[in-house]
Amino acid sequence: MSVGNTAPSVSVPDATINDTASASTIEVAYNARGHADLSDLKLRVAGPNFTAEATKSSKAGINQTLSSTSDVVAFTIPKDAYGGGAFRFSAFLFNESSGEIVADDFSTVTVESPVSVSNVSVSPSTAYAENNVSVEVTLDNGGSSAEPFTVAVSAGRERVRRVTVPAGGTTETFNVSFEEAGERYVRVNVEPTKSVTIEPNPIETRAVTASETALKTYQNVTVNATLHNPTSSSVSKSVELEAYDPDYGFRTLVATETVTLDAGETRNVSFVRHFEYATTKRFYVSSKSTEQINVTENPVNVLTDETTVGSDVSAGESSEINVSLYNSGERTASKLVFLEWGGSKQLVGNVTVDPGQTETVSFSPTFDVGGTHPISVNERGVGVVNVSVPSVTVTSYDVAATDVYLADDIETSATVENTGGSAREFVVTAVAERRNEDSWRYRSKTVSVGAGENRTVNLTASVYRPGTYDVRVNERAPTAVTAEYAVKTRSASLSADVVSVGENVTVTQTYENPTNETRSRRVSVSAYSRDGSSQYESRELVLGSGKTATETFNFSFESTGRKYVWFNQTSHQLIVRNETGGTPNLTLSRVYPPSNPVNNTTAGVYAEVTNDGDGAAVRSVNLTIDGAVVDSRSIYVPANESASVFLEHRFTEEGNFSGAIVFGDGKRHTFDGTVRGSVLVSDSVSVDFLGGTRPSTSPTAHAEYNGGFVNAWLSSGDRYDYDLSELGVDNSSRFEISFTVRNYTPRTVIGRGQGLEWTTSEGPTENTTNVTVEVQPSQLDYKTEFSGSYPSSPAEWSANVKNDSADIGFDAAVMLGVGTVQDGLAGENASAVTGMQVTTDAQMYSMPRYVDGSDGTRPHLEISLAAPHRTAEGRLNYGHYDAFLPNSLLDAWGVTDPKSQLQASFTGQDVHSDVTVVKSGAYVNVSLHYSTGTLTIAKRSSSSDDASGASASVGGIGGTSADETTTETTAAATTTVKPTPMETSTATTTGAAPTTETTATYTTEAATTETATASSDGGVPGFGASVTLVSIVAGALLALRRSDRA
């Protein structure tokens, strides 16, 4: 017993109990002297197969929490825990965070019984390490009937066995072994210890090799260990295979095999292993290891959208499961496929798939037990099979809490009813599925339900990151559960937003734990550049109840320019400058302000700053509306270069306004405008089914004005439920979406869909226009989780993406947008593009931009595109871009033979295109392997082309001189576009026109008189003056993203 007037102490007394009749309690006294704060202290009592503990905020097996510095508490030994025997019990008072034991004590607990230990013998008295030593325990039973009794054998580790001792007695034998040589001891219950001499195991490990040093996940590697027995007798050894991870610096036991080698024998022992994630490992046996094994991601992925789980069945029937695997790589690859169901895991096969191909492997397990059976392939859930049995069902369930912390399980309690006349086994499954993701976790339990019984089954489901989960038990309707971090961020800051090359920038984050128990959270910070380079640091934070902690992370950059630091779920901009001296000379070279924004929408202002001095500069650029600063950004401009900035403001009142762009040298650019009323006519949005596969229920049509054009889409339920396949819609289903706009001239439509046709006509009242679009759905893949903030443009995609794979896929979706392209696409000749249309399945893109050729290039159209490199199923994400160019635009370019004169390029590289000529223009179809970049369509260069002449015929775009004011009035147009194909040609383009990464501005509306003051320079190569950065469904996607992260 630890005793002292100044040191902490704990005391557990010897006790004699009888656990046959009832539970027993034993009192433990503790004194935490010098530990006034009990938050990190824990009291634990332990015996054979028994643990009880208490802290300041929780207890298990102890009657109260540690509420004061000293107290007497009681722990409970359950009824019939041992039956009989005498055992060593220990009590520890320790610091939970550090693991330090501050006080301990030991006692003997005797459980009354007529059975006693009369003898303990150990043989042999000398043995090799890892070889068995026999422990024989003689038990006497003085009673007249069999009695329960517990034997605890301690020999390095404790082995506990509950036995039934017949009248008179019996003998029990245990085999124990020791890993380390030396004098070792064996103790049975509280009997005197027996000693045994352990000698080093003589079996030698001569070599350890691996069959492969470079492989993919879910591919086998064979590890061979060569062993030799140099002695003249037979020796056994437990061969332990350990995996060493250089990132963590320690070994983990992954497999064991006991072998016996005859005298002088040499033998190979083989282990076959596979890895489920990319890693770097070495395998060890004793002190010998393999070479380093590099494991990379397998390009063969399970396609959950094409993997089918058979229909629900009755008990005793089989259900066919077809697992589809797709190879997204460039070489043939194989992958092990494991199927899991009902607690069983079976290797279905080692499937080989050629590049770009899909293979299917089928399996038909028989389900003998009723209930809900989750089906997983390679640790990924692919569905469930509901197996019916007569009379047994889950009649109801409850969820303990609908708001939980990430570290906590979601507790469910289900009632299972058996109305039949015999007991039946039944599988009860609790599932937690994160909304908007094809990802879920489950817990299952097989229970026996007696005839006529209502049985309560408790299950927990786990969650892995913040968000809203649908939790359900078996086939019952789901319950919404919200999960959040227990350790919360109190504050987060960046030490500077402008630093020099090589200078440290510090992220400081303060965390707090408001809960009533110790909690942990992994915290991280990442820093990245537009060129894709990144830095990352993470650590595990453990906080006691009510505690706070401050963590700091330091980064530095070796290159100049705009950087991003991601922390506290937000991307923060940072400017890195080079201290090279010199004097900057900045001018505001271009400004594109909103002249006629729509009330209750966000308008953008694009500004370009040119530095023709010999020194770099960092400046703050402010946007003011009616004298108040409404947005501010920092901009870095190297010497003799230009840089752009995009600022935003949401207008909330109609009427005139005055705005200005002001930057650090006191320079400003002023502009005036008028906030207009809404574009969409209320209650004008509708949808009609035209043909193809008819949906079970009609989808709902939505439209809203956002980011400069009218976004329209179809939903299957809630506003942002995009996947129409839930209604039975497929890509053959054709719909007509209609709406009416006011004081707005629809000139072009961009849609995510197929077979798009659109018409406009005069509306029901003055200055209104009816828009009708016919379209079929497309399959779409989206990414919502980014390493940085959600990119506001295709240009920001690369900087915010680490794992460039989609996390949401829609089998059938329709999204489109109608724009006016005033002052943007065709400058003064905006009417030349009336009737233009684009369809694509990119996630993000700008409105088309017209580059007028003033920089010496040929006039061309370009659009910035971005989409995940891979689909949600791991496939390479192949997409399409189809543009219809009306004759008015082709004429302005001087294109007389579109099939031979039009060419396309993506990211500066030639791409294959199909040109289809129709009476009213030409279609250009381009197939893409998605990433991010600029797609260009131009007139093919020839000796007769004159770029400047073509530019003049189309008209300039962009701003005007700083002293000029432009005024334009455009009437609403009536257009019908239903082209009839005439001829089709296929072209492989060459000599792609150069493109420029762009930033976009706000769209000004047509059919009104507009006045805007712009900056100097008439042409803006690579920049459409009146286009939007955000994708066609900007508002819809943003709402999806925000609700997903709420």
Instruction: Classify each residue of 359-369 as buried b or exposed e, where b means 16 or more C-beta atoms within 10 Å of its C-beta.
Output: bebebebebeb
CA neighbours closer than 13 Å in the CB half-sphere of residue 182? 5
Q: What is the DSSP string of 15-60?
A: EEE-TTTS-EEEEEEEE-TT----TTEEEEEEETTEEEEE-SS-EE
Residue 800's alpha-carbon distances to 212, 803, 869, 932, in angstroms, are 35, 10, 13, 12
Q: Tokens 């650019």: give the residue.
A: 669
Q: Which residues pair with 417 in a beta bridge?
A: 393, 454
Q: What token pair was written down for 918? A: 């129709």
CA 835 to CA 890: how far, in whole Å?
Answer: 12
In this prediction, residue 268 carries a pLDDT of 95
In this prediction, residue 1038 carries a pLDDT of 29
Looking at this protein, which amino acid is placed at residue 796? E
Q: Find, among 869, 851, 864, 798, the residue nearest to 1029 by Cα.
A: 864
CB within 8 A of 527, min separation 6: which ones? 534, 535, 536, 555, 557, 563, 564, 565, 566, 574
pLDDT digits 0-9 by tens, 997-1038: 222 222 222 222 222 222 222 222 222 222 222 232 332 332
For 24-28, the CB contacts below 8 A with 24+ separation are 24/76, 24/77, 25/63, 25/74, 25/75, 25/76, 25/77, 26/74, 26/75, 26/77, 26/89, 26/109, 27/72, 27/73, 27/74, 28/62, 28/72, 28/73, 28/74, 28/75, 28/91
CB within 8 A of 1042, min separation 6: which ones? none
CA 790 to CA 811: how far, in whole Å?
Answer: 23
CA 821 to CA 891: how far, in whole Å?
Answer: 18
CA neighbours closer than 13 Å in the CB half-sphere of residue 919? 5
Q: What token pair was written down for 357? A: 């191909």
Helix or strand (DSSP H, E) at 223:
strand 221-228
CB within 8 A of 1028, min separation 6: which ones? 604, 707, 708, 709, 819, 846, 847, 1000, 1001, 1002, 1003, 1034
Structural domains for the chain: 9-111 (2.60.40.10), 115-199 (2.60.40.10), 204-296 (2.60.40.10), 488-577 (2.60.40.10), 586-675 (2.60.40.10), 737-762+780-1037 (no CATH)
C-alpha distance across the termini of the chain, in Å: 54
Coil vs helix vs strand at 868: coil
Residue 311: count of CB within 10 angstroms of its CB: 10
DSSP conformation class of 465 = S
* 655: region left, alpha or beta (phi > 0 left; psi from -120 to 50 alpha): left
Q: Find, among 385, 384, 218, 382, the residue nearest to 304 by Cα.
A: 382
Q: Tokens 């819609």: give the residue.
A: 729
Q: Which residues pair with 818 in a beta bridge?
A: 710, 749
Residue 16: count of CB within 10 angstroms of its CB: 11
Q: With beta carbons less than 8 A apart as the criterion, state whether 970 and 1006 touch.
A: yes
DSSP conformation class of 681 = P
DSSP conformation class of 889 = H
DSSP conformation class of 893 = H
Q: Find, among 508, 503, 486, 587, the residue nearest to 553 by Cα.
A: 508
- Angle at CA of residue 912, ends 911 and 918, nearest 5°: 125
Residue 276: count of CB within 10 angstroms of its CB: 13
Q: Find, among 412, 520, 415, the residue nearest to 462 by Cα.
A: 412
**Any idea of the CA torsion for 592, 598, 604, 605, to the nearest 10 degrees?**
30
CA 107 to CA 14: how far, in whole Å?
Answer: 5
Q: With beta carbons less than 8 A apart as the criterion, state whether 748 and 838 touch.
A: yes
Beta sheet of 921-929, edge-to-edge order: 700-706, 709-715, 815-819, 748-752, 836-840, 878-886, 921-929, 912-918, 981-988
Counting residues of the chain whose pLDDT is more than 70, the rounded percentage is 77
CA 942 to CA 924: how far, in whole Å?
Answer: 20
In this prediction, residue 710 carries a pLDDT of 86
This prediction has a pTM of 0.49
Q: What is the CA radius of gyration of the chain?
A: 37
In this prediction, residue 461 carries a pLDDT of 84
DSSP conformation class of 890 = H
Q: What is the DSSP string of 540-586?
A: EEEE-TT-EEEEEEEE--SS-EEEEEEETTEEEEEEEE--------E
CA 96 to CA 616: how far, in whole Å?
Answer: 54
In this prediction, residue 758 carries a pLDDT of 85
Which residue positions in the chain have pLDDT lower than 70? 1-5, 247-248, 342-343, 436-439, 530-532, 579-580, 664-665, 707-708, 781-809, 821-837, 839-881, 889, 892, 906-912, 927-934, 941-1046
In this prediction, residue 683 carries a pLDDT of 87
Residue 741's alpha-carbon distances to 384, 446, 745, 820, in angstroms, are 47, 60, 8, 11
Coil vs helix vs strand at 943: coil
| Burial (0-12, 13-18, 19+ Cβ within 10 Å), 35 | middle
User: What pairing do the DSSP bridges indicate for beta strands 403-405 and 479-484?
Assistant: parallel
CA 816 to CA 712: how far, in whole Å?
Answer: 5
